[in-house]
Amino acid sequence: MAFFFALVCILISLAIASYVHYSRRRKGKGQGHGGYGGHEKASLKLPPGSMGWPYLGETLQLYSQDPNVFFASKQKRYGEIFKTHLLGCPCVMLASPEAARFVLVTQAHLFKPTYPRSKERMIGPSALFFHQGDYHLRLRKLVQGALGPDALRALVPEVEAAVRSTLAAWDGRVMSTFQAMKRLSFEVGIVTIFGGRLDERRKAELRKNYSIVEKGYNSFPNSLPGTLYYKAMQARRRLHGVLSDIMRERRERGEPSSDLLGCLMQSRGDDGAPLLTDEQISDNIIGVLFAAQDTTASVLTWMVKYLHDHPKLLEAVRAEQEAVREATDGGRRPLTWAHTRSMALTHRVILESLRMASIISFTFREAVADVEYKGFLIPKGWKVMPLFRNIHHSPDYFQDPHKFDPSRFQVAPRPNTFLPFGNGLHACPGNELAKLEMLVLIHHLVTGYRWEIVGSSDEIEYSPFPVPKHGLPVRLWRENRTVERKGCESGNVEDIIV
């Protein structure tokens, strides 16, 4: 009942916002294309599609069903470029590799990143992924430097410690895989940002307030006291306060650091002055925490399910990881970056999990000018959404696309057909960190534990990223160290995959 009431409130709000937007455009532009954009060009027309109900568009249709069914049905009816009206905005949807490259790479200057204002306020308006231009380029360079190969090599022991701790806490219990993976991803995010030197009191403050912010992130943006959004904004202010205290303490100690926070604090402009204010640094630290958690946790959850559902593949991955374990003296020595580079089959499992799950189904851009694409007009101000999931699940680019088959990645996919981390200047700068976390988790999971799914795992829920229902409840237990290698007599761990 509460969810239904919230949905009605959202739709009413969207109706009002859409009506205001509609009225302003009619006033400024005249009648135009039925009130949607007001653009007239002699040789161009809007893409095919439907705009849904007046003011509300097709938002209700999108959120009353599996969004993948919604987009797939649209593509089947109208083709790889079509229009709709969602969340108070006219939109053009693009479902081809060429279109994704057009928007994200070759003509990226014509499409700016766009997010709801309420979400920008909650994360922080100076966060990396809300910007383009010089500020974005300088900031991205800093973040990539802190997440580059040298930094990741040093992070492997910290990531491994977080994985061991997560699995040990799970041992012998039934837990939501998604919630366990969220805790793991949060720990890895904290280590990446603060270099493993954050005291437990500060870590607890960050975890407590971040959890409140996260709960309000996708809530109706109502600023009345007591609402989830109001509580989230209050917690966001406290997060900024905690981060300000941490930065002040570092400066007082004169503590240089190569972690992400240190890189941002020590950055300098061309004139030698600090490149970022403390508020800008705080926005970006909170942004990294957001980017590092739910998406990675969702993929990790699906990987646990995919391996469970394919026993022969699981045994092949276990055989590969047992060889790595032997190289670490039976697990008595820590993993290294070189060890993670030797996990070829496991890496393909990760890539196939990213394709199948397609956690980021699409990305939002906004046209900053009238744009022509394949004879169609994309009007200035319209939202533009490359549909990654539709591309990943197309039989034109992946044979038998709904089958989980890591062997397909023995050959590199066609350009622009595999975009789990986006593409272009706004591609996720933390993709290698996410893969490292996945590799280390799989290593310790398959070599040290067994698990079984409790209940049905076929239903999907969206929160907002797709995960198995109830977060995939799993019973985990430490395994007997007597390892069977059935089917691997040839020595080729892929011989037993079907």
**How far is Cα 295 from Cα 418, in angstroms, rounded to an integer?**
16
What is the enclosing helix (H) or strand (E) of 138? Answer: helix 134-146
Strands (E), 51-106: 81-86, 89-94
What is the enclosing helix (H) or strand (E) of 466? Answer: strand 466-468
What is the enclosing helix (H) or strand (E) of 285? Answer: helix 278-309
Short-list 462, 389, 468, CA closest to 63 = 462
Residue 371: strand pairing partners: 378
What angle separates helix 149-170 from helix 177-194, to the nearest 10 degrees? 140
Angle 147-153-155 (CA atoms, 0-180°, nearest 5)? 70
Kindly report each contact of residues 461-470 with a partner whose C-beta sits within 8 Å and lies 24 or more positions away, as own/partner.
Answer: 462/67, 463/218, 464/218, 465/294, 465/295, 465/298, 465/359, 465/360, 466/298, 466/357, 466/358, 466/359, 466/361, 467/178, 467/298, 467/301, 467/302, 468/177, 468/178, 468/301, 468/302, 468/305, 470/176
Cβ atoms of 262 and 154 closer than 8 Å: no
What angle separates helix 134-146 from helix 278-309, to the nearest 10 degrees? 60
Half-sphere exposure of 463 (CA within 13 A, CB side): 16
**How far is Cα 390 from Cα 346, in angstroms, rounded to an integer?**
25
Q: Can you spell out the DSSP letters for 1-57?
A: -HHHHHHHHHHHHHHHHHHHHHHHHHHHH-STTTTSS----TT-BPPSB---BTTTB
428 among annotated binding-site residues: yes
Tokens coding 299: 């993929």
Q: Can you spell out the DSSP letters for 233-284?
A: HHHHHHHHHHHHHHHHHHHHHT----SHHHHHHH-B-TTSSBSS-HHHHHHH
Cβ atoms of 5 and 222 closer than 8 Å: no
Give the 3-state secondary structure of residue 304. helix
Q: Which amino acid is at 143?
A: V
What is the enclosing helix (H) or strand (E) of 67? Answer: helix 67-78
In the numeric block, the tokens 């161009």 are attached to 44
Task: Mark the binding-site residues for heme, compressed into ranges.
Answer: 428
Task: Mark the binding-site residues, compressed into ranges.
Answer: 428
